[in-house]
């Protein structure tokens, strides 16, 4: 049997942000940076990749380490981190991985004969005179490469633009020769940063980081993270050189902009920076993005949602779910891990991750330990939301919790819906099951579990019967 497609779609103990998905030879491969659980900065790990059959998007296989940070000649001691990469197939049929290290302003390239690695260092993007991109006078520092190769030319988009920095203009395009390294067209800005957004149509959604490029039919879609950080936006053009026209928001990792079951400006998850892209798999389009876990910025996980590209080329914003890669809602009976919560919030709205007052996705052990994820730090009013399920004849629910908590969990099928059950929990330092009868109406709906009481609870899983 096929496995369920879940969000996040990789194991709960894996922390891969900045996911760039591609289909090669009947499998979906995701290339991203590599965070650590409870890491102190972004991107501490070597590059790894996972892949899944295009017809079984719940069945992900670990392909191993595909590139080590010490393989770059500038990083033999491993003191620099590997930031977000992107992938393209060169004119020679080989797979080229473009990336940036965290303390130098240049773009590095690695190459392999297989999409699953292992990659070898290839060179640095440079001008015809050998000067590295990022080191010539007037160059902007390089960051988050996005690449696409057509007709022997590779289009490389890079950039990072924070508020108040007029030296960074936006996402910059460089066109490379068949050798995948040499710049043959002068760099130019194609999507404006926040300091240059006035009068462009990108106001309020200017380029921040995370350049990504895809071709859909005859249109080029530039996917990027905007100034608010939690959004992935898109812009379109008829040529990879632009001009690009702002299109809209595809996904927000705190669900701002979604008005289903809530006000559009109300965050229902703890967001932060975002990075990803769109991909078509078996005729269905998806947006890949990442979420923040562990109550901070440095342990991020890849997620995906179905999207629709309308006949006019627009992409409506989609909401966060727990079943993004699944073919429809999840079965309304069975056991589901707490780490699958797509909504986390309290009675005090907060769009960005951080602080000790809010629930968070956690795990036991250290980075690399294959421990199940759960929702921790659930204080009074903390809610974990899971969407969506196809309920049929559900008559009971069991939750598995622990913690020095004395209260109850309220069960709803919508954010402010009727309380269908109240499950009392008690002080315990081990995982305990608590069961209640419940009558959930048949049909597609959500599960919201809200803790009310004293102390701090953790939620490992729940079971619908």
Catalytic residue IDs? 18, 209
How far from 209 is each of 50, 159, 175, 379, CA to CA, in Å? 24, 6, 19, 34
Cα 126 from Cα 11, distance rounded (Å) = 38
E strands, 107-198, are 108-112, 120-124, 146-150, 153-158, 170-176, 183-192
Radius of gyration of the chain (CA): 22
Q: Which residues pair with 249 in a beta bridge?
A: 233
CA-based nearest residue to 58, from 116, 1, 20, 117: 1
Cα 436 from Cα 397, distance rounded (Å) = 6
Mapping DSSP to helix (H, G, I), strand (E, B) and coil, where does residue 338 land? helix
Q: Which residues pair with 232 in a beta bridge?
A: 225, 251
Sequential DSSP letters for 229-275: SSEEEEEEESSTT---EEEEEEEETT-TT--TTS-TT---S-B----
Cα 295 from Cα 84, distance rounded (Å) = 21
């Amino acid at each position: 049997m096929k496995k369920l497609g879940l969000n996040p779609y990789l194991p709960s103990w894996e922390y891969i942000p900045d996911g760039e998905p591609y289909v090669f030879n009947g499998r979906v491969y995701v290339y991203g940076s590599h965070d650590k659980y409870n890491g102190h900065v972004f991107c501490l790990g070597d590059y790894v990749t996972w892949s899944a059959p295009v017809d079984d998007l719940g069945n992900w296989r670990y392909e191993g380490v595909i590139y080590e940070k010490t393989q770059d000649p500038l990083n033999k001691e491993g003191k620099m981190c590997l930031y977000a990469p992107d992938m393209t197939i060169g004119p020679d049929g080989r797979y080229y991985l473009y990336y940036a290290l965290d303390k130098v302003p240049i773009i590095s390239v690695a190459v392999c004969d297989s999409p699953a690695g292992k990659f070898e260092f290839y060179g640095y993007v440079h001008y015809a005179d050998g000067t590295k991109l990022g080191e010539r006078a007037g160059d902007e520092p390089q960051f988050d490469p996005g690449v696409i190769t057509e007709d022997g030319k590779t289009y490389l988009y890079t950039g990072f633009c924070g508020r108040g920095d007029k030296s960074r203009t936006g996402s910059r395009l460089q066109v490379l020769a068949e050798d995948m390294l040499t710049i043959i067209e002068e760099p130019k800005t194609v999507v404006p940063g926040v300091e240059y957004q006035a009068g462009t149509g990108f106001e309020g959604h200017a380029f921040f980081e995370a350049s990504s490029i895809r071709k859909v039919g005859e249109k080029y879609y530039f996917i990027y993270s905007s100034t608010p950080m939690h959004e992935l936006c898109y812009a379109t053009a008829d040529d990879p050189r632009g001009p690009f026209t702002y299109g809209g928001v595809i996904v927000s990792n705190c669900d701002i902009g979604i008005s289903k079951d809530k006000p559009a400006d109300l965050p229902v998850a703890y967001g932060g920076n975002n990075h990803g892209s769109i991909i078509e798999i078996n005729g269905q389009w998806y947006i890949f993005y990442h979420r923040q876990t562990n109550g901070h910025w440095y342990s991020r996980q890849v997620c995906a949602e179905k999207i629709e590209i309308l006949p006019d080329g627009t992409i409506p914003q989609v909401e966060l779910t727990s079943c993004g890669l699944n073919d429809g809602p999840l079965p309304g009976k069975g056991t589901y891990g707490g780490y699958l919560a797509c909504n986390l919030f309290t009675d005090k709205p907060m769009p960005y991750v951080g602080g000790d007052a809010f629930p968070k996705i956690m795990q036991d052990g250290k980075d690399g330990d294959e421990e199940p994820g759960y929702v921790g730090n659930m204080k009074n009013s903390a809610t974990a939301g899971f969407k969506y399920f196809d309920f049929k004849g559900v008559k009971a629910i069991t939750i598995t919790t622990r913690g020095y908590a004395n209260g109850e969990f309220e069960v709803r099928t919508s954010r402010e819906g009727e309380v269908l059950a109240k499950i009392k929990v008690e002080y315990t330092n081990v995982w305990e099951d608590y069961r209640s009868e419940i009558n959930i109406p048949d049909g597609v709906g959500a599960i919201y579990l809200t803790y009310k009481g004293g102390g701090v609870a953790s939620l490992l899983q729940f079971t619908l019967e």
